[in-house]
Amino acid sequence: MIELRAGRYVSAIWFVQGVNKDFLGALWRDEGDDFVFDYRIRSYEDNLIGRKSKDKIAAYRMEFLPGDNEQFAVDVASRVVSSLKFTDFVPYGSHDKVLVNSDDPIVIVELLAARPWAHTGFVGAAEA
């Protein structure tokens, strides 16, 4: 969902478990660039994980304007996540916000590895 690499600062990652679907979002920016909020909603079609799954995924991107600071971007992204309770994501299931605040891929993977919903790993360029 997000490519982790040195110099890519990740502010926070959100996960919401719905009924037969989930939401995953990441707020990040590359060095010298503006914040981006990438998020996706996955509807479960099978019990497989990864590229072999037939799950339906809708992906979205919100790009912030120059001068939008991190706190503003976190607040806006948090509102997007909170709005799920007003959609077909009812009942609004368990949710998790991981404050990452790092540009070190190893640190980010270690933070996510502790979450039961995260399927972490390193992917080579040929697999990406």
pTM for this predicted structure: 0.85
CA distance 64 to 41: 20
The torsion angles phi and psi of 106, rounded to 5 degrees, stand at -65, -45
| Confidence band for 31, pLDDT divided at 50, 70 and 90 | very high
CB atoms closer than 10 angstroms to residue 4? 21
Spatial separation of the C-alpha atoms in residues 108 and 126, rounded to whole Å? 22
Residues 6+ positions from 114 with CB-CB distance below 8 Å: none
* E strand segments, the chain: 8-17, 21-30, 36-43, 56-63, 95-102
Asked if residues 27 and 77 have their Cβ atoms less than 8 Å apart, the reply is yes
Residue 19: its pLDDT value, please? 81
pLDDT 10s digits, 55-97 = 898 999 999 999 999 999 999 999 999 888 777 766 656 788 9
Q: What is the mean pLDDT of residues 12-23?
A: 89
Residue ranges of domains in the chain: 8-113
- 28 falls in which pLDDT band (50, 70, 90)? very high
Asked if 109 and 10 touch (Cβ cutoff 8 Å), the reply is no
Q: What is the pLDDT of residue 93?
A: 62
**Sorting pLDDT into bands at 50, 70 and 90, what band is 127?**
very low
